[in-house]
Chains A and B, each alone.
Chain A
């Protein structure tokens, strides 16, 4: 079945350092979404990428969708303690209803 692999599983950084998480799908995706889940909370939608090679920015967050629409990345510049949480990518196949979630990357930050 469709798989979405996400790395790394854990990342610990010093406040102010950059952070990147990567997602790779075994099949071409229709679109990919990113979610953030704070400790003890529920996932919250961050962004959706649809076009091949698309790059979107939200303040210190940069999201990329690969040319082949099989991989994606989330990069955070100059992390802050409020960035702590688990970041999930979720991919959707063409014509499919469901999203397949990656394993998530848990980000912890040393202030």
Chain B
């Protein structure tokens, strides 16, 4: 199957700093990417939908100024957590969909963010 690479896998940062997470589709062009947040032993909460070349669509309750999403190319989307605080500590996962509109999602490995 298709491969989606997410980097970094782990990141620890100080409160108030910003952290960028990258999501790359390695062997296909991802017209749409999704960013999720997952708390321990809980489900995937969709944060935003990112379409290449356009602004991301954020879910209700997700602060767009805090979670900046950029999808500048068909193979790369980035999530920047700005001015991170301990409550932002979580597991962030991206997923990408290539061709078919209703096709399966390919997930990245996830990035565990810990804010001290």
Interface residues of A in 15-43 (CB under 8 A from B): 30-31, 33, 35, 41-43
Stretch at the interface among A62-70, A76-84, A98-106: A98-106
In the complex, A1 Cα to B60 Cα: how many Å? 10
Contact between A102 and B43 (Cβ–Cβ < 8 Å)?
yes
- The 8 Å CB contact of A45, one of B46, B49, B106, B109, is B106
Interface presence of A44 (CB below 8 A): yes
In the complex, A82 Cα to B42 Cα: how many Å? 21
Interface residues on A, range: 20 to 34
Q: A30-B102, A92-B102, A98-B34 are in contact. Are A44 and B43 (CB under 8 A)?
A: no
Interface presence of A97 (CB below 8 A): yes
Contact between B43 and A103 (Cβ–Cβ < 8 Å)?
yes
Query: A1-B60, A43-B107, A98-B49 are known contacts; what are 4 more A-B pairs with Cβ within 8 Å?
Result: A31-B102, A88-B43, A92-B102, A97-B32
Can you list 30 A-B contacts with CB-CB less than 8 angstroms, sorted by A residue number? A1-B60, A30-B102, A33-B104, A33-B105, A35-B105, A41-B109, A42-B93, A42-B107, A42-B108, A42-B109, A43-B44, A43-B95, A43-B105, A43-B107, A45-B104, A45-B106, A48-B102, A48-B103, A86-B41, A92-B102, A97-B32, A98-B34, A98-B49, A99-B34, A100-B46, A101-B43, A101-B46, A103-B42, A103-B43, A104-B42
